Chains A and B, each alone.
Chain A
Amino acid sequence: MSILGILDIGRTALAAQKAAIEVTGQNIANVNTPGYSRQTAVLETAPGGQDQGIGNGVFVASIQRSYDRFLQSQINDKNSASGEQTTEQAALQRMQPLFNDLAAEGLSGSLQKFFSAWQDLSMNPQGEAERQSVLAKAQTLMDNFHQISNSLTTVKQDANQSLGALTNDINNKTKQIAALNIQIMQAEQNNGSANTLRDSRDLLLKDLAGKVGIHSFEQPDGMVTVSLARGPVLVEGNRSATLDLQADAANSGLYGIMLTAPGGAAGSATDVTSIIAESGSGSGELGGTLRVRDNLVNGFAAGLDELASTLAVKVNGLHAAGFALNGTTGVDFFTPPPAPVPPATIAAGFSAGIALNVTTTAGIAAASTDPTLAGNGTGNNVNSLAIADLKNLTLTMSGGKTTLTGFYGSLVGKVGLAVQSSQQNGAQNSAMLKQLNMLRESTSGVSLDEELTGMIRYQKAFQGAAHLITTGQQMMDTVLNMVR
């Protein structure tokens, strides 16, 4: 080996250690960057060398990215589940107070008071105050029905409106992923490193999975293909699909989600609403929003409508059979007259439109016979007692045989159960996500202590290499002095 060879080895060592320190510096700089994967300079012995094959110094073979593909796809899946669950939970948190009759009087209280007012009326059937109280309590009950019903509709409308922002966001992300796809392919074709581009793409995929349930896999050329969890492709190569909203007449004018395939012609969009909504428990924020809009709210609203409708049927039936103070009969207490046989045909939104048909105190039919006829009188309380007794009457409703108040109680229970299971799911999801993120952090995260140790190592190696060069120079001088 020549002395020049020693200088060469020193030169490669200086360059390699310097590169390693640069990588360390990059790691330290990105210790807090979301989605950053730790990089390591992989040093290899340069082959060759004339004598004994000891090698020809060192070189940086590659900059490796610490990364676990399977972990990443698990995180994406959980993110989808978590996105869906948080959306549902947020909606439930808005709906729960409407049914929280523990904190305020609520509908169960006003239903109770409505029937109490009829009891009071039965104790004094001609009393103006008692009659006024029946009307007032009935009005409060109506207000409660309207308020809950309208608030449920608002939750539904808000969910519908938020679809616009969500689909825009998804379109944006798929476009960026497609753009990164082509950049990564080009960078890696030229044997370059696309580590930071890959980090960006992974982060985008993770965010996208939070918005909508997806499947993704990497092609041999480094590009990822992304599709909805069940079906159509979202990103293929450098092209991405577009999601649009279109009012769906079959779903009372609420938005349907239309997908134009990557590179598809305008107007070739297909409806993917049900595909997104039905992709199991991991359909992301978009799926959660659709489920809130099309399932969750409707379930509670239908219960409320059934309650209002059954109440109206029963009270109207008795009231129309009774007689008002002036002898009028056949008048409904509530309007509009509901369909006759619940629960078979309950108009959706009945609870939002129900109102009082009787508006004067004299019009309340407390009597079972005409009080204006001889031998009768306004002291007849039979009908008011009958209406008051509706409270404890067992009726056949959709949930089985129950009283009106019992039916409402079970509706509150249903809301409570939905909230509870959503909270439990949320806790599970976040625990899982935390665990997965910890595993990811363990593989890909930057440890400052580790980087600092590496820095010391590389720095010392750098110093050693510099010494080697000095030594080589001194050796050269010694040889040259021999000649003199």
Chain B
Amino acid sequence: MRITEGIIANNILGNLQLGQQQLERLQQQASTGMRINAPGDDPVSTQQVLQLKGVLQDYDQYTRNIITGSAWLGQSDNTMAGMGSVVARAHEIAMTMANGSYSATNRANAAVELKQLRSELIQQGNSQMAGRYIFGGFASDKPPFDATTGAYAGSDDAVKMEVGQGSYVSINYPGSRLLSGGTPPGSSGVDIIGELDKLTTALSTNDVTGIRAALPAMDAAQSQILAARTDVGGRMNRVQNAASNLESLKLSQTAAISDRQDVDILQVISDLTRQQTAFQAALSSAAKTSKLSLLDYL
């Protein structure tokens, strides 16, 4: 083949440009730390990375949900503990006052304490979390229990949160089930407020038979609240498990993204060094060959 100055010059130009391009690409990878900087670099991995990132963001969202939900469940559990001691005290009073040795005055005094306990219970039933009534079901914007009658005005619905794709945990316990024994009151459990009212009436009218009759109801009330606490506690466990699962899922997801997107920095640095050497060699050979000409010898 006939070689002309033009061919040599074009070759030098082409090769130097190629070297520059490769240097630029490696430098971009080294400075961004990423193997893929635009969809065109690797369309398939780009799509995978976007999908994995989407899943990772879902996990973050579920974790956020769990933080709020746990606070709700925790608040419910604490309040229920308080309710438990209120009902236990009522039970204790009923036990004591059922004894025939107490006078009508004693029982009237006990009735006063019982009224206090009743309003304490209603107050606890109306407890709030960040301005929302936790025992009101969907009607969390107004107090679920009437302060005087104790009637339940909330809804019986479960407020659900998503803790994983398609997996829901309800974060509330409807007040109707907890304190009123269902809607209408007493239909599916013990109407604790109603029973307290009955006991109060029995105490103030010094009706020993009535007081004795209230004892099994007080027992049932205690176990109703205990059952509710067990339910809430179980859900708290489930939510905590979900949270720790999410943490490990997030780790593996992040690793998967990194596998696809990040550069092997050692590889890039060594490639970069090699490419620089090659480029320098190309430059110096270009400078040397272009000096060779017959003109210098004429």
Q: Which residues of A contact B (CB under 8 A)?
A: 31-32, 92, 96-97, 99-103, 108, 112, 116, 119-120, 122-124, 126, 367, 369, 371, 374-382, 385, 388-389, 391-392, 405-406, 408-410, 412-420, 423, 434, 437-438, 441-443, 445-450, 452-453, 456
Nearest CB in chain A to that of B36: its residue: A102
Q: Are B138 and A31 touching (Cβ within 8 A)?
A: no
B252 contacts across to A, CB distance below 8 A: none
A445 contacts across to B, CB distance below 8 A: 2, 4-7
How many angstroms from the CA of A446 to the CA of B39 in the assembled complex? 44
Q: Are A379 and B4 touching (Cβ within 8 A)?
A: no
> Which residues of B, 133-155, contact A by the 8 Å Cβ criterion?
136-142, 153-155
Q: Closest approach, in angstroms, between the C-beta of A50 and any C-beta of chain B?
A: 41
How many angstroms from the CA of A120 to the CA of B295 in the assembled complex? 80
A391 contacts across to B, CB distance below 8 A: 58
- Are A446 and B6 also in contact (CB < 8 A) when A377-B155, A416-B42 are? yes
Q: Are A442 and B2 touching (Cβ within 8 A)?
A: yes
- Are A416 and B54 also in contact (CB < 8 A) when A124-B132, A377-B136 are? no
With A416-B43, A423-B40, A445-B7 already in contact, 20 other A-B pairs whose C-beta atoms are closer than 8 Å: A102-B46, A122-B162, A123-B64, A377-B136, A378-B141, A379-B139, A381-B138, A385-B162, A405-B50, A405-B54, A406-B51, A408-B50, A413-B47, A419-B43, A438-B10, A441-B6, A441-B7, A446-B6, A448-B4, A450-B4
Q: Are B61 and A116 touching (Cβ within 8 A)?
A: yes
10 intermolecular pairs with C-beta atoms under 8 Å apart? A100-B38, A112-B57, A116-B57, A119-B65, A377-B136, A412-B50, A415-B43, A416-B42, A441-B4, A446-B6
Q: Are B294 and A31 touching (Cβ within 8 A)?
A: no
Q: Are B68 and A123 touching (Cβ within 8 A)?
A: yes
- Are A377 and B141 also in contact (CB < 8 A) when A123-B161, A416-B43, A448-B295 are? yes
B157 interface residue, CB < 8 Å from A?
A: yes
- Are A388 and B162 also in contact (CB < 8 A) when A405-B54, A434-B14, A449-B294 are? yes
B37 contacts across to A, CB distance below 8 A: 102-103
Specify which of B10, B64, B140 is in contact with A377 (CB 8 Å cutoff): B140
Q: Closest approach, in angstroms, between the C-beta of B242 and any C-beta of chain A?
A: 14
A414 contacts across to B, CB distance below 8 A: 43
B298 interface residue, CB < 8 Å from A?
A: yes
How many angstroms from the CA of A423 to the CA of B38 in the assembled complex? 13
Q: Are B50 and A101 touching (Cβ within 8 A)?
A: yes
Q: Are A405 and B38 touching (Cβ within 8 A)?
A: no
> Which residues of B, 1-55, contact A by the 8 Å Cβ criterion?
1-7, 10-11, 14, 34, 36-44, 46-47, 49-51, 53-54
How many angstroms from the CA of A72 to the CA of B258 in the assembled complex? 50
A412 contacts across to B, CB distance below 8 A: 39, 43, 46-47, 50
Give me the 4 closest cross-chain CB pairs, A-B, nearest first: A377-B139, A419-B40, A416-B39, A416-B43
Specify which of B14, B65, B157 is in contact with A123 (CB 8 Å cutoff): B65
Q: Are A124 and B138 touching (Cβ within 8 A)?
A: no
The number of chain B residues with a CB under 8 A from chain A is: 59
Q: Closest approach, in angstroms, between the C-beta of A375 and any C-beta of chain B?
A: 6
Q: Are A447 and B2 touching (Cβ within 8 A)?
A: yes
Q: Closest approach, in angstroms, between the C-beta of B22 and any C-beta of chain A?
A: 12
Most chain A CB atoms below 10 A, which of B3, B47, B141, B165: B47
Q: Are B39 and A419 touching (Cβ within 8 A)?
A: yes
How many angstroms from the CA of A100 to the CA of B261 in the assembled complex? 13
B57 contacts across to A, CB distance below 8 A: 112, 116
Q: Are A409 and B138 touching (Cβ within 8 A)?
A: no
B130 interface residue, CB < 8 Å from A?
A: yes
- Are A379 and B162 also in contact (CB < 8 A) when A123-B68, A438-B10, A443-B2 are? no
- Are A410 and B130 also in contact (CB < 8 A) when A119-B61, A377-B140, A442-B2 are? no
B101 interface residue, CB < 8 Å from A?
A: no
B159 interface residue, CB < 8 Å from A?
A: yes
How many angstroms from the CA of A102 to the CA of B51 in the assembled complex? 11
How many angstroms from the CA of A381 to the CA of B161 in the assembled complex? 9
How many angstroms from the CA of A100 to the CA of B38 in the assembled complex? 6
B248 interface residue, CB < 8 Å from A?
A: no
How many angstroms from the CA of A198 to the CA of B157 in the assembled complex? 90
Q: Are B39 and A405 touching (Cβ within 8 A)?
A: no
Specify which of B44, B69, B162, B293 is in contact with A449 (CB 8 Å cutoff): B293
Q: Closest approach, in angstroms, between the C-beta of A329 and any C-beta of chain B?
A: 16
B160 interface residue, CB < 8 Å from A?
A: yes
Specify which of B54, B140, B160 is in contact with A108 (CB 8 Å cutoff): B54
Specify which of B44, B138, B168 is in contact with A376 (CB 8 Å cutoff): B138
Q: Are A124 and B40 touching (Cβ within 8 A)?
A: no
Q: Are B68 and A379 touching (Cβ within 8 A)?
A: no
B139 contacts across to A, CB distance below 8 A: 375-379
Q: Closest approach, in angstroms, between the C-beta of B45 and any C-beta of chain A?
A: 9
Nearest CB in chain A to that of B53: its residue: A108
B46 contacts across to A, CB distance below 8 A: 102, 412-413, 416
Q: Are A392 and B165 touching (Cβ within 8 A)?
A: yes
How many angstroms from the CA of A119 to the CA of B298 in the assembled complex? 85
A441 contacts across to B, CB distance below 8 A: 4, 6-7, 10
Q: Closest approach, in angstroms, between the C-beta of B214 and any C-beta of chain A?
A: 30
How many angstroms from the CA of A389 to the CA of B54 in the assembled complex? 13
How many angstroms from the CA of A376 to the CA of B162 in the assembled complex? 21
Specify which of B2, B10, B68 is in contact with A434 (CB 8 Å cutoff): B10
Q: Closest approach, in angstroms, between the C-beta of B28 and any C-beta of chain A?
A: 11
Q: Closest approach, in angstroms, between the C-beta of B262 and any C-beta of chain A?
A: 11
How many angstroms from the CA of A443 to the CA of B4 in the assembled complex? 9
How many angstroms from the CA of A329 to the CA of B164 in the assembled complex? 29
Q: Are A102 and B38 touching (Cβ within 8 A)?
A: yes
Q: Closest approach, in angstroms, between the C-beta of A118 and any C-beta of chain B?
A: 10
- Are A99 and B155 also in contact (CB < 8 A) when A388-B162, A449-B294 are? no
